[in-house]
Chains A and B, each alone.
Chain A
Amino acid sequence: MRENISIKLISEELNLQECIDFVQDDACGGIATFIGTVRNHTKGKEVKRLEFSAYTSMAIKELQKIAERALEKFDISKIAIHHAEGLLQIGDIPVIIAVSSAHRGASFKACKFAIDTLKKSVPIWKKEFFKDGEVWVNAHP
């Protein structure tokens, strides 16, 4: 792992301060963060909780690739991408992305790039639990 990239996929609670501390850099003028939170509704239905499962070894490789691409594409210093696995309750945090850069524009762009790409390519799956059943998100036409 490169010293300017922090990747985690863990079943413990994510730690925002840890991500910020990792990307903090005296040469940087700012840190942008994206924090995903578990929403209590989807398409008008009340969501009770979520469960995330992953193809862990491949997911870590894909997260690493996203971080490397962000470092190539944008003028940023460091990037942390941490994702949670397992059962999460409403308001819990499944994902944190933190990016530092000398000037703020690059951090904002890299943060957006990282979360958008993660949602398309990283083999992690979310199951939503409702009062009357459960469904794998995005799985059906």
Chain B
Amino acid sequence: MTIKTLFFGITRDVIGKSNIEFDLNEGQSIADFQSILAKNYSGLTDIKSYAFAVNEEYVNEDYIIKENDIIAIIPPVSGG
């Protein structure tokens, strides 16, 4: 399944794009996806940490990604 992923803040600069479509298998978790990201984009390891949101809600790493989900990579926030 094809999953749209959005990048913000420093991760957008590291990746060089605001969104990418990834081809994932059914049943893959956010943790699985994180290893795919780390393998493909080594620059991400320089960032302190980043969280994941699915469909505009924070999720933890055992969330199982579903068809039509929109994933967002959320680097450390700094609003206010």
Binding site for B on A (CB under 8 A): 36, 52-55, 57-59, 61, 83, 94-95, 115, 118-127, 136-141
Contacts and interface: CB of A to CB of B under 8 A. Distances in A.
B71 to A, nearest CB: 12
A119 B79 contact: yes
B77 A119 contact: yes
A118 B75 contact: no
Contact of A138 (B13, B48, B53, B72): B48
Contact of A95 (B56, B74, B79): B79
Contact of A120 (B6, B9, B77): B77
A121 B48 contact: no
Contacts of B48: 138-141
A80 to B, nearest CB: 15
30 contacts: A53-B8, A54-B8, A55-B6, A55-B8, A55-B56, A58-B56, A58-B72, A61-B56, A61-B57, A83-B79, A95-B80, A115-B80, A118-B79, A119-B78, A121-B58, A121-B77, A122-B79, A124-B78, A125-B10, A125-B75, A125-B78, A127-B9, A136-B13, A137-B78, A138-B48, A138-B77, A138-B78, A139-B10, A139-B48, A140-B48
Given A55-B6, A136-B9, A140-B46, A126 B78 contact: yes
Interface string B1-13: 0000010111001
Given A55-B8, A139-B76, 5 more contacts: A55-B72, A58-B53, A119-B79, A136-B13, A140-B48
